[in-house]
Chains A and B, each alone.
Chain A
């Protein structure tokens, strides 16, 4: 899994470049290269390093790499003190993890609490939003767009694109939307095509895995929202 480059929602915000957490399969440079290679974005970027240790030469490499793709490294977020020191030495704006992700630290996960990322705005065709915990999207997922999460996928809007819950293999993950009309649904390793007929208007629905197949039910009012 490559690093995720998440576009800023407003012109005065930073784009967010998030390094993958957990298993390391490539260097940070390769991860970032993968993420920016095909990207259109230009402008200032905040780098979310999580627990990666990036020393000064690494950060400088990343800075140059981003610059070649028209992006400017403006800010570094990290849980690792070594990385913050390096960022400070380069004169970059730096700080701890982002507020939405602070809850997603290891401690929270081990306590059985799902971390939740809130994303505001509609995902349009070609966009892909991936988060590590659960995701709450305030907006629509348009046809051709993808939303994926290791936990639950909650869409406060119309889900008409592709959704993947439980990317990491969590078979209890669910997909909930105010209007569930996806092209395709995936939960863990199960795949289902979206329903052909139009869903009943004004009825939120959820998809969950029952006996290895994806089933769509009216959304349960007692939905266990992640804390």
Chain B
């Protein structure tokens, strides 16, 4: 048992497809690897994906819905990850049942999960309608994820406004799918452009990485690997910062380019 109260974190973005579910899956695995008892709750039950990304689709028997109805115990509905037993998944519901969930239900489920976890991550559906409202009902803090695109930043801004009204604090930012080359050539919003508008503390910066697609299709989050790819490492760093470790954030577009710098980078990587 830990003395501190469990952290209940909403992962949201407003816009769809910017990487909420990928972040939830990777962060869940990363926190579990760091020894935290972590529960991930898929609040996007209409378009349920978190189980796919974690490779747990075929193990789901019950959902939170049955837990609330008293048909099963929480332990029966929780799906433990094969390789990281510290991580368990609870799907909020069945995609065919769209109407049952209320903010009250959500609070009950999260309270149950919080009793047995250090971290509860809530994967929020896209949009700012009822699904978002339900998912946000039980959260104490939030991570807003966005990509360096005008539309994603605009939607994130709206979501941050709504989180502020609900009194959810702190709200931190993860910037996903950054392409350092495009930023350097000013074809893409820079990290400053985004943090300038959103005015949130930056929790992590994830570069565009093809391995994310591979890992999604396999159902094996990048953070499972012992030597993760760049994006996987970035997700691990997010988990470490979330636990309070002070890791500097390196802006990849600011790294020196040119032959000498590249050579130096290769050398230091090989040596250490």
Contact = CB atoms under 8 A, between A and B. Distances in A.
A40 B134 CA distance: 12
B85 interface: no
Q: Is the interface of A mostly helix, strand, loop or mixed?
A: loop
A152 B222 CA distance: 53
B169 to A, nearest CB: 8
A124 B161 contact: yes
B240 to A, nearest CB: 29
Nearest to B167: A11
Given A7-B165, A124-B161, A125-B161, A143 B154 contact: yes
B154 A40 contact: no
A205 interface: no
Nearest to B157: A125
Contacts of B167: 10-11
A61 B158 CA distance: 31
Contact of B157 (A7, A8, A144): A144
Contacts of A140: 199
Interface in B145-185: 150, 154-155, 157-158, 160-162, 164-167
B165 A126 contact: no
Given A11-B167, A40-B133, A144 B154 contact: yes
Given A40-B133, A143-B154, A144-B154, A126 B161 contact: yes
A40 B162 contact: yes
Contacts of A122: 199
A126 B154 CA distance: 9
A124 B155 CA distance: 10
B197 A143 contact: yes
A7 to B, nearest CB: 5
B104 to A, nearest CB: 12
A124 B133 contact: no
A142 B158 CA distance: 10
Q: Which among B154, B161, B162 has the highest number of chain A CB atoms within 10 Å?
A: B161
A8 B161 CA distance: 11
Contact of B154 (A8, A11, A125, A127): A125
Contacts of B165: 7-8, 40-41
Q: Which among B154, B155, B162, B165 has the highest number of chain A CB atoms within 10 Å?
A: B165
Interface string A113-139: 000000000101111000000000000
B212 interface: no
B66 to A, nearest CB: 28
B74 interface: no
A142 to B, nearest CB: 5
A181 to B, nearest CB: 11
A8 B197 CA distance: 21
Given A11-B167, A142-B197, A143-B197, A124 B158 contact: yes
Q: Which among A11, A122, A125, A144 has the highest number of chain B CB atoms within 10 Å?
A: A125
B128 interface: yes
A42 B133 CA distance: 11
Nearest to A160: B197
Nearest to B163: A124
Interface string A157-193: 0001000000000000000000000000000000000
Contact of B158 (A10, A11, A125): A125
Interface string A8-26: 1011000000000000000
A125 B155 contact: yes
A175 B109 CA distance: 49
Nearest to B132: A40
Contact of A124 (B150, B160, B166): B160
A127 B158 CA distance: 8
A-B complex: 10 closest residue pairs judged by Cβ atoms: A11-B167, A124-B161, A125-B157, A125-B158, A126-B158, A124-B157, A7-B165, A125-B154, A144-B154, A142-B157
19 contacts: A7-B164, A11-B166, A11-B167, A40-B128, A40-B162, A40-B165, A42-B166, A122-B199, A124-B157, A124-B158, A124-B160, A124-B164, A125-B154, A125-B157, A126-B157, A140-B199, A143-B150, A144-B157, A160-B197
